[in-house]
Structure 1
């Protein structure tokens, strides 16, 4: 289930963003300090949704910025439930984008090396529309833009 983020969720999200497995495939690879996260939160909280697992426990976050989206999961807390959470979060995020937000297209950036997420996006109808290089913490990485229509 997706729900709007509450201020109380702010500090819950930081460890998800800072998990080494998440940072390894993110456009932000350094460990995010609490004050940096607080600044991000102040600018983005209104675009943030919390994904709750089957037990109603917060387990991920979805961020919408216009017709662009991104997400993080609680990799450490989900354990064996990670794949199921990935699939449910993506399904619910797509439904939210085209239903609640009324978007006609939805797109996002994924590092080319993040093959698992690219495969998941394909499963949900996203198509690769372009690739480009971006410097991520001093290293040139290939970014894949995927999008899908309603």
Structure 2
């Protein structure tokens, strides 16, 4: 199984690029992992519905029936790190070829994406900057794999 995280990144920050590189490097011994940034629609912020629609359509083109999709969504399930690691184990045993993580754009994702996801997970009840949210997601994905592999990173 391979893993990919899709995002819609608009800001460019050196610290974030470093975080992505660090976690990608840490994850690759466990699973071939990459982050793919999709181009955010140039639609005006006043037209949130259109922006969300275009981004979701672009994302749906990248997902196949062989993908196990985990969406990070503010209205998703509240899981602790152990519960999240169990969900990733379930995904790995699903027979799917790819584990797909999604962080939507500034206005979220369409119902089509939400319905396509096998799991929707909330990162926090707090609102976060997109780059911070993605860094948290990457750390939790890494933490989940260390839990699965019983590597002493997570203090139980």
RCO higher in 1 or 2 (8 Å CA, sep ≥ 6)? 2
TM-score by length of structure 1 reads 0.34
Provide TM-score, normalisation by structure 2: 0.33
Q: Which has more strand, going by share of residues?
A: 1
